Chain A
Amino acid sequence: MKLSLKLTTLLAPIFALIVAFGLSTIMLYLIGENPIETFKIMYDYGKTGKSIVSILNRSVPLYISAVAVAVGFKMGLFNIGVESQYLMGSLLSAALGAAVALPSIVHISLIIFVAVLSSALWAAIAGYLKVKKGVHEVISTIMLNYIGTGIIAYLLANIFFEKVELSTTAPQTDLLPETARIPSLNGILGIEDLPNLHGFIIGAIFVGVIYYWIVWKTSLGFDLRATGSSPIAAKFSGANPGRLTVLAMMISGGFAGLVGIAPLTGYFFKYTTDFPSGLGFAGITVALLGRNHPIGMAFGAILLSFLERSAQILDLYNVPKEIEKIMVAVIVLSVVVAYEVVKRYVTNKQIKEASKAVSND
């Protein structure tokens, strides 16, 4: 019985993808493009070696961002503030990382530690406001995104950047020294003639394992999930809702701090005005797509990265590449609906079996 239930759960995303592709086909057809041709172009471009490296690289921060969001979701907290949390962590760790000279391992560890700590503290503000002042975390994290963006702009332009008169350089932190850079995996994996595959991809796998361990295996995770399932039952069982809320926000923010690590130590080596942004919001989409499951979100991150990468080619063929954004939205909606359908099916099946058990004796 357990196996068949697991199989039904797997059917949901497959079903959702079929529906999403169906709808995208219709859409492409309606705007006068050949759907099959379009998918083929995207697929062919997406499967080139260069694209695969790029997709994997992009998946790393996206996946970590999704994990950050998912920690909150498991407890019923909506951390919309991953965006400013990771940018804050990235800026501070970039600034500090560039200012010190240390052996490589220590240097990288320090950058990661500072990023995690500053993002977690920034997120803790929303937890504190919720517990002590009753401000809903959606409101506070959105506002903290605005405030954070302002603070980051100020710090970047006035504190961490020395303006040279008449210079046209955009504000940026100093370059990280070699010791602070995480090496690519190309050498170890023997990949040649391709762009660099970020070493922090291993970090992302670690993040997934830690997330799974905390949420599903520990007693803290049990408290988190219990609160997400029924806040009152959790409170009556002895969980302290206030402490948990702050803690969950900090764990979520701590994961958020890792979002910027790959771009920072992998290829940007500094924080500038065009440091990748928007990953915090994209993480929400991936968390929804992967239903907060560590493996589901990995697939979600790769799928989204694949679509984004392969859509780049569409311009060359005069197909509007915005079709990709619509496809992502349609996929997410289909997944949400499909899971709801499966959930009801499983529930009904269980109720049926339970009532059989009653009437059998």
Chain B
Amino acid sequence: MTLAIELSKISKSFPSVKANDDINLKIKEGSIHAIVGENGAGKSTLMKILYGMLRQDEGIIKIFNDEVNFSSPKDAIAEGIGMVHQHFMLADNLSVLESIILGMDKASLKVLNKNKYTEEINEITKKYSMPLNTLSMIDELGVGEKQRVEIIKVLFRGAKILILDEPTAVLVPQEVNELFNNLKNLKNSGVTIIFISHKLDEVLEIADEISVMRSGKHIDTVDSSAVSKIDLAEMMIGQNLPTPPKREKNTIEKKSLVVKDLTAQKDNGRKAFSNINFSINKGEVVGIAGVEGNGQRELAEAILGVYPIESGEILLEETNIDNLSTRERRERGLSFIPEDRQSQGMLMDVSLAENVILGKQSSTKYKSKYSNIKFNEASTNSNIVIENFDVRTPSNETLALALSGGNQQKFVVGREIENKPSLLIASQPTRGIDIGAQSLIWNKLRDARDEGLAVLLISADLDELIGLSDRILVIYEGIFVKELDPEDATPEILGSYMTGLKA
């Protein structure tokens, strides 16, 4: 069998870290080859090298037995390599056809031959049985369809080797199945697929061979039929797979948050969410499950007071807060872990000692009666957060941007919990961080709940939702369609409510 890709002795260093260390990898033509590893294991760096976005310090890349030298993705595309990024690079106001042919021709004044392109695209969609209406607009498509556009786009440029970076991260289980069927068709037509993931179940299901990476090194390549999930996990992290801690209900029959008939609008006039009713007791975790973009982010931000509501009521500890500012809501014991820690939860170019103040800069906790900030207090408290939440940092003088994602997240979670809130809104609290940090955050959330904290948990990680929540609400197109007991919930069941298949 021919090798589609042969990497020998690839090394790549960054100022702070050796991202790839002497990687040797063989990928067979017409196979699905998974590359697994934790965040920071070096998968992305390796793929960026393969796709011409980065240059290796050492080592040789061979594509179909020819040595290649890429200086930009253009070179990689010319050799038949295509990449589908985790975040789609599509413009909402273009049609599918336009999105696919975008950037194909040099800019000129010639009229585009759309018919010719349409035919060519239809040929490809037929060949790989991936139906697609070329006339649809991108913003009308679902997440799965958008991904299909990205894949067709790459195939249309003549890719024989397809790199998929975390393709299932944005999909619900049903969409994942569809993607996997598509990938199998592609494989049967001779396309080589590199599948980057850290979800071991999926990898075992789809891949022929699996390569494991850990801290920049290639640990091993194994046949997927010959390994178990536990073997892979051990190779990946050197320990067992974590699951959220066992739960035992601890609800106190006292309402912390009550939301009544809450409705909000988006900029485009559509409803972000409508007639939302729910409550959270003290000592209770209520999880919200939903495909991204179904109103859960707006709901969380509306409770914080940064997203305007149209009608309805929000009661925190039996007081109406919907006319209060974000600052006043925080004063009354609301804490918020935003989904994007870097742009929403921290000041990246500021030290941890000052970052601990964020959110409480106007409360007596850090504000003296002369309006001065109590920096000594902040320094002490930042050390408490660092200590209690195991934030790995040289000191509290370190700038936030110097920390790894997991440590940044631990700091944000720690700060919000150490502020001793009565209600904590946690949006994607463990997204994109390593397993160690993840299980620490799970434990800390659980401990805080046990001490009576009410938590609103929003997560795309369905296992996390099922494991941590006391109740799960499913949101679909801005409406709560189902309430589930996590005892009865599985990712599949949640998935079918999340996509509107069941109601």
A residues bordering B, Cβ < 8 Å? 1-2, 217-223, 225-226, 229-230, 232-240, 347-348, 350-358, 361
CB of B367 closer than 8 Å to a CB of A? yes
Known contacts A2-B397, A235-B326: A222-B361 contact under CB 8 Å: yes
Assembly CA distance A220 to B394 (angstroms)? 29
CB of B338 closer than 8 Å to a CB of A? yes
Q: Which of A226, A236, A352, A356 touches B361 (beta carbons < 8 Å)?
A: A226
Q: Which of A222, A223, A233, A357 touches B345 (beta carbons < 8 Å)?
A: A233
Chain B residues contacting A237 (CB-CB under 8 Å) are 326, 330, 358-359, 361
A-B contact pairs, 9 of them (CB 8 A): A225-B347, A229-B349, A233-B346, A236-B304, A236-B336, A237-B326, A240-B327, A354-B407, A358-B404
Known contacts A219-B362, A219-B371, A237-B361: A230-B398 contact under CB 8 Å: no
Q: Which of B16, B306, B327, B336 touches A348 (beta carbons < 8 Å)?
A: B16
Assembly CA distance A351 to B349 (angstroms)? 12
Chain B residues contacting A351 (CB-CB under 8 Å) are 15-16, 401-402
CB of B344 closer than 8 Å to a CB of A? yes
CB pair A355 B16 closer than 8 Å: yes
CB of B455 closer than 8 Å to a CB of A? no
Chain A residues contacting B359 (CB-CB under 8 Å) are 236-238
CB of B227 closer than 8 Å to a CB of A? no
- Number of B residues near A (Cβ < 8 Å) is 43
Assembly CA distance A204 to B98 (angstroms)? 60
Assembly CA distance A187 to B373 (angstroms)? 40
Most B CB atoms within 10 A — which of A219, A221, A223, A356?
A: A219
B residues bordering A, Cβ < 8 Å? 15-17, 304, 306, 325-327, 329-330, 336, 338, 343-350, 354, 357-359, 361-362, 366-367, 371-373, 392-395, 397-399, 401-404, 407
Residue of A nearest to B395 (CB): A1
CB pair A222 B357 closer than 8 Å: yes
Shortest CB distance B486–A (Å): 28
Shortest CB distance B327–A (Å): 3
Chain B residues contacting A1 (CB-CB under 8 Å) are 394-395, 397
Known contacts A352-B16, A355-B16, A355-B17: A236-B345 contact under CB 8 Å: yes
Known contacts A229-B349, A233-B344: A354-B371 contact under CB 8 Å: no
CB pair B361 A354 closer than 8 Å: no
Residue of B nearest to A358 (CB): B392
Known contacts A236-B338, A347-B402: A356-B344 contact under CB 8 Å: no
Most A CB atoms within 10 A — which of B354, B358, B395, B401?
A: B358
Assembly CA distance A237 to B358 (angstroms)? 6
Residue of A nearest to B215 (CB): A359
Assembly CA distance A162 to B395 (angstroms)? 67
CB pair B394 A238 closer than 8 Å: no
Q: Which of A217, A225, A229, A357 touches B372 (beta carbons < 8 Å)?
A: A217
CB pair A350 B361 closer than 8 Å: no
Most A CB atoms within 10 A — which of B361, B371, B373, B398?
A: B361
Assembly CA distance A356 to B394 (angstroms)? 8
Q: Interface residues of A: mostly helix, strand, loop or mixed?
A: helix
List 16 additional contacts besides A230-B343, A234-B358; criterion CB under 8 Å: A219-B367, A222-B354, A229-B347, A230-B346, A230-B347, A233-B347, A238-B325, A238-B326, A238-B329, A347-B402, A350-B398, A350-B399, A351-B401, A353-B394, A354-B16, A354-B402
Known contacts A236-B326, A237-B361: A217-B15 contact under CB 8 Å: no
CB pair A236 B306 closer than 8 Å: yes
CB pair B358 A217 closer than 8 Å: no
Residue of B nearest to A346 (CB): B399
Chain B residues contacting A348 (CB-CB under 8 Å) are 15-16
Chain A residues contacting B398 (CB-CB under 8 Å) are 350, 353-354
Known contacts A351-B16, A355-B16: A236-B402 contact under CB 8 Å: no
Shortest CB distance A248–B (Å): 15
Most B CB atoms within 10 A — which of A217, A230, A232, A236?
A: A236
CB pair A354 B394 closer than 8 Å: yes
Assembly CA distance A296 to B393 (angstroms)? 30
Residue of A nearest to B327 (CB): A238
Most B CB atoms within 10 A — which of A219, A235, A237, A351?
A: A237
Chain A residues contacting B402 (CB-CB under 8 Å) are 347, 350-351, 353-354
CB pair B361 A219 closer than 8 Å: yes
Shortest CB distance B456–A (Å): 15
Residue of B nearest to A352 (CB): B16
Known contacts A218-B372, A219-B367, A355-B17: A240-B325 contact under CB 8 Å: yes
Q: Which of B15, B17, B327 touches A239 (beta carbons < 8 Å)?
A: B327
CB pair A354 B362 closer than 8 Å: no
Chain A residues contacting B403 (CB-CB under 8 Å) are 354
Chain A residues contacting B329 (CB-CB under 8 Å) are 238
Assembly CA distance A226 to B344 (angstroms)? 11
Residue of A nearest to B370 (CB): A218
Chain B residues contacting A347 (CB-CB under 8 Å) are 399, 401-402
Residue of A nearest to B341 (CB): A233
Chain A residues contacting B347 (CB-CB under 8 Å) are 225-226, 229-230, 233
Assembly CA distance A358 to B361 (angstroms)? 29
Most B CB atoms within 10 A — which of A220, A229, A233?
A: A233
Residue of B nearest to A216 (CB): B373
Residue of B nearest to A220 (CB): B371
Shortest CB distance B466–A (Å): 28
CB pair A232 B372 closer than 8 Å: no
Assembly CA distance A73 to B309 (angstroms)? 32
Shortest CB distance A272–B (Å): 41
Assembly CA distance A238 to B330 (angstroms)? 7
CB pair A357 B373 closer than 8 Å: no
Shortest CB distance B278–A (Å): 22
